[in-house]
C-alpha cells in the first residue's frame, strides 16, 4: 500500500505529513488571536464551526503565523469555535 503525503483539492495541494490541526476557543469580540505551537504560517482553514453564528456580524477572515491564528471581522456576542487547519505546499 502506498503512503499518501499530499491531497490536492480545487487546485491547492495540502501537505498532510506536516499535519492537520484542530483548534478551538471562544471569543466575544474580534480580532481574536489563538496561540498554539502546532499552527504554522502556511496553514489555511479547511473547516470551521461556530456554535453561535448569529454572533458574527461579518465574514470572518484569518491570518496564520508560526504559533498562532488571528481571526478578524465583526462580532456582537460570544461564540465558541472549532477550526481545522492544513498546511499548503
Provide the grid cell at 87. Answer: 498546511
| Distance in angstroms (rounded) separating the CA atoms of residues 46 and 58 | 19
Q: Are 81 and 48 in contact (CB under 8 A)?
A: yes
Concatenated DSSP letters of 31-69: SEEEE-TT--TTEEEEEEEES-GGGB-S--EEEEETTEE
pLDDT average, residue stretch 46-63: 94
Q: Above 70 in pLDDT, residue 2?
A: no
**pTM listed for this prediction:** 0.82
pLDDT average, residue stretch 60-70: 96
Look at residue 58 in the predicted model and tell me its pLDDT: 95
Q: What's the pLDDT tens digit per position in 75-86?
A: 999 999 999 998
Amino acid at each position: 500500500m502506498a503512503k499518501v503525503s499530499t491531497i490536492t483539492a480545487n487546485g491547492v495541494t495540502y501537505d498532510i505529513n506536516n499535519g492537520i490541526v484542530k483548534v478551538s476557543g471562544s471569543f466575544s469580540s474580534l480580532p481574536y488571536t489563538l496561540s498554539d505551537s502546532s499552527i504554522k504560517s502556511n496553514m489555511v482553514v479547511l473547516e470551521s464551526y461556530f456554535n453561535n453564528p448569529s454572533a458574527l456580524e461579518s465574514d470572518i477572515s484569518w491570518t496564520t503565523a508560526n504559533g498562532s491564528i488571528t481571526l478578524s471581522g465583526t462580532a456582537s456576542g460570544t461564540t465558541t469555535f472549532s477550526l481545522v487547519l492544513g498546511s499548503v505546499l
